[in-house]
Chains A and B, each alone.
Chain A
Amino acid sequence: DAKTTQPPSMDCAEGRAANLPCNHSTISGNEYVYWYRQIHSQGPQYIIHGLKNNETNEMASLIITEDRKSSTLILPHATLRDTAVYYCIVRVASRDDKIIFGKGTRLHILP
């Protein structure tokens, strides 16, 4: 079973920041938080990952709480192309080779 809990769906206005929450209260000390997204009719796409520090790349920012029991993926200026299912995953990168996906959050960007 997936080790994360996400809301099934969210809406966000185009141009605004989209904040996607994820709970992972049973995360272990050596497990990373990963985010992937899946645009309709495509395979999942890696977005970002982190261990305990906040991370930022060209796609998004990842904010992890100090106790590591939850995190938030931030898309700073959402566009219609960000409409997708977003998956929050915890895994040990070097050992757990397979990815265990949950149902994710379906993000709708509203024009």
Chain B
Amino acid sequence: DTGVSQNPRHKITKRGQNVTFRCDPISEHNRLYWYRQTLGQGPEFLTYFQNEAQLEKSRLLSDRFSAERPKGSFSTLEIQRTEQGDSAMYLCASSVSLAYEQYFGPGTRLTVT
């Protein structure tokens, strides 16, 4: 399967711990997006990359959040000092520039206890 993959699929952590998620986009997709989804809501945009450049960050992306895409391929999303409010599904999507559709991965479900 050559779709978007995300790891881990589930993460349970204690408040105050740091967590890191990984996203592998579809090969040759130069754009990569991160979204967050809480229960009963649609996904909310966090940030996106074109190749290795981070072009936009949402105000939802507090100082505790950092995303990287060092070689323009896979991306990581790190949350430092997790809070219970960070509990959500973190979705990654990829596309080619100016494409109509984004392809989403299955998401990483984070639970902060």
Q: Which residues does A use to contact B, with CB under 8 Å?
A: 2, 32, 34, 41-46, 49, 85, 87, 93-94, 97-104
Contacts and interface: CB of A to CB of B under 8 A. Distances in A.
A98 B48 contact: yes
B42 A101 contact: yes
Interface of B: 4, 31, 33, 35, 40-45, 48, 55-56, 58, 91, 93, 98-107
Main secondary structure of the interface of A (DSSP, over half): loop
Contact of B42 (A2, A41, A42, A93): A2
Contact of B91 (A34, A44, A93, A100): A44
Contact of A46 (B4, B44, B56, B102): B102
Contact of B106 (A2, A43, A87, A93): A43
A49 B105 CA distance: 20
Given A44-B91, A93-B98, A99 B103 contact: no
29 contacts: A32-B100, A42-B104, A42-B106, A43-B4, A43-B91, A43-B104, A43-B105, A43-B106, A44-B43, A44-B91, A44-B93, A46-B103, A49-B100, A87-B42, A93-B100, A94-B98, A97-B33, A97-B56, A98-B48, A98-B56, A98-B58, A99-B35, A99-B45, A99-B102, A101-B43, A103-B40, A103-B41, A103-B42, A104-B42
